[in-house]
Amino acid sequence: MQLELFSQGSSPVHRLDPRVKLTVFVPAAVLCASSDRFSTVITLLFAAGTLITAARLWSALLWQRMLVINTFVLFLWLTLPFSMQGTPVMTTGPMTVTAEGMMLSMLITLKTNAISLMTIALPGTTPVMSLAHALQHLGMPSKLVNVFYIFYRYSGVIVTEFETMKQTLKARGFSPATNMHTVRTWASVAGMLFIRSFERAERISSALRLRGFQGQFPLMNHFRATRRDVLFAMVSFCCLTILMFI
Amino acid sequence: MNCLEIHQLNFSYPGGRRVFRDLNLSVQSGEKAALTGANGAGKSTLFQLLTGLLKPQSGSIVAWGKTVTSEEEFRQMRRRTGLMFQDPDDQLICPSVEEDIAFTLLNHGMPPREVAGKVDEICRKLGLAALKTRVPFHLSWGQKQLVSLAGILVTEPQLLLLDEPTAGADDHLKSLMLDHLQQFTGTLLVSSHDSDFLERLCSSAYHISNGSVMR
């Protein structure tokens, strides 16, 4: 599953209490997103990189992920340096690149990468069920947590149904083209997928009622914060506080 | 004593399709009964009515000598009943086989240590010990069906309702299911089109046709 690509492992980061990971991740991400200082953002990027190293996650898969994220950032570089007013650095025809535009693009790039790496290193190293539980422990309403978990659980099933429908279309001689028949076919597929999802939702609801579900997913192994978790949280909060005020 | 009795039950789906008209049925405790009927005859609907997942327009359901009408009464009845769905993906919801098998017991408030012991035992019985830490959604269809069955049998139900348990199952899985279901001592109601499986498992049969049941 897409959300759990990095969740398996036995590194110190993987073993951290999910509640601690979320409690550190949220303020760190907010600080990174709201800061306009390069020093703060670079420090957080470095911290995120350190966590990734500690989680032993540097791999081709991680680089692929970062490449996808930075592809979107590239579009920013194609517009922002040209559209922001400020000190001209370079002129190409009617377009002028400004120093302020370049700096802002760089800042956003660093922020994006720092937050992405933090997301992979902290919530990304936690199985989704544990993440859902941690959210519940941290006061998120049960209904939202259940929607998050059930969406995650069944998105894969719906994708599989969509793939089966695509194969059926292929087997029946359908090949997409730019015409009304293609539009109608895809509309039918979307409608059928919606109906199937709705019917499945009803069956899942029945199954949950049958199995005595009372609005919260029970856990066999409950969270227990260790001294290491407390230490990680304290060090992280101290660093974030310093970064906020320097 | 009858485990289950249905009196004069009428049920139609919203939109008008009438499924049952004055349906009567009684199943004795310990009976292993087959439920047959054409596609769309109402076999799955009957299971949903019996467990209170659907509400009939009229008629009554009596389980273990007690008329069941309110949601609370059905909830109590469901604690003693296991229903296996046709598609195991509807039933398997937890991120590991072990947690999924434990799900119902934990919902019923059993202490996790006791649950762990019961899960170990049922996994050993059904040969699922090696799959305990696996993600249920990544298992084969047959393995998913076995995990669904384990999640039901672990609760030690007195009434077991199986909706097309052999759909998509290979011969090995069928014989494995048969072995375990033959040892089941409670009341069993199995809906299936697999006549060989039904013959080997069940001692009586009910046929649904035109909204009523014939023995």
**Judgement on whether residues A111 and A169 belong to the same structural domain of the protein:** no
pLDDT value of residue A2 = 64
**Judgement on whether residues A181 and A86 belong to the same structural domain of the protein:** no
Cβ–Cβ contacts within 10 Å for residue B63, how many? 24
Nearest to B106 among A204, A207, A218 (CB): A218
Inter-chain touch A211–B53, beta carbons under 8 Å: no
ipTM for the complex shown: 0.77
pLDDT band at A3 (very low <50, low <70, confident <90, very high): low
What is the mean pLDDT of the segment spanning B15-41? 87
**Judgement on whether residues A45 and A126 belong to the same structural domain of the protein:** yes
**Judgement on whether residues A6 and A23 belong to the same structural domain of the protein:** yes
What pLDDT digit, counting tens, does each position of B192-211 carry? 888 888 999 998 999 988 87
Residue A150 lies in a domain: yes
Residue A216 lies in a domain: no
Examine the pLDDT at B140 and tell me if it is beyond 90.
no
**Judgement on whether residues A98 and A147 belong to the same structural domain of the protein:** no
Angle, CA of B202, B207 and B211, to the nearest 5°: 145
What pLDDT digit, counting tens, does each position of A133-181 carry? 888 888 888 889 888 888 888 888 888 889 888 888 887 888 888 988 8
Q: How far apart are the first and last CA of chain B?
A: 18
What is the mean pLDDT of the segment spanning A208-237? 86
Residue A220 C-alpha, separation from nearest chain B C-alpha, in angstroms:
5
Residue A218 lies in a domain: no
Average pLDDT, chain A: 89
Residue B71 C-alpha, separation from nearest chain A C-alpha, in angstroms:
11
Inter-chain touch A210–B115, beta carbons under 8 Å: no
- Under 8 Å CB-to-CB from A149, ≥6 apart: which residues? A128, A129, A132, A217
What is the mean pLDDT of the segment spanning A108-131? 92
**Judgement on whether residues A127 and A145 belong to the same structural domain of the protein:** no
**Judgement on whether residues A25 and A129 belong to the same structural domain of the protein:** yes
Residue A215 lies in a domain: no
What is the mean pLDDT of the segment spanning A171-192? 87
Asked if A21 and A236 touch (Cβ cutoff 8 Å), the reply is no
Residue A217 lies in a domain: no
Residue A115 lies in a domain: yes
Q: Which of the residues B76, B90, B119, B162 would you substitute to probe the A interface, choosing the one with the greatest number of A C-beta atoms within 10 Å?
A: B90
What is the mean pLDDT of the segment spanning A219-238? 87
Examine the pLDDT at A1 and tell me if it is beyond 60.
no
Residue A155 lies in a domain: yes
**Judgement on whether residues A145 and A127 belong to the same structural domain of the protein:** no
Total domains in chain A come to 2
Inter-chain touch A1–B53, beta carbons under 8 Å: no
**Judgement on whether residues A112 and A227 belong to the same structural domain of the protein:** yes
**Judgement on whether residues A82 and A51 belong to the same structural domain of the protein:** yes
**Judgement on whether residues A44 and A93 belong to the same structural domain of the protein:** yes
What pLDDT digit, counting tens, does each position of A47-66 carry? 999 999 999 999 999 999 99
Examine the pLDDT at A34 and tell me if it is beyond 90.
yes
Inter-chain touch B112–A222, beta carbons under 8 Å: yes
Residue A146 lies in a domain: yes
> B141-153 and B112-126 are packed helices; what angle lies between their axes, rounded to 10 degrees?
130
**Judgement on whether residues A128 and A32 belong to the same structural domain of the protein:** yes
Residue A160: domain span: 141-210
Residue B115 C-alpha, separation from nearest chain A C-alpha, in angstroms:
8
* CB contact residues (below 8 A), chain B span 79-118, against chain A: 79, 81, 83, 85, 87, 89-91, 93-95, 98-99, 102-104, 106-108, 112, 115-116
What pLDDT digit, counting tens, does each position of B92-136 carry? 888 789 988 998 888 888 888 899 999 999 999 888 899 888 888
pTM greater than the 0.95 cutoff = no
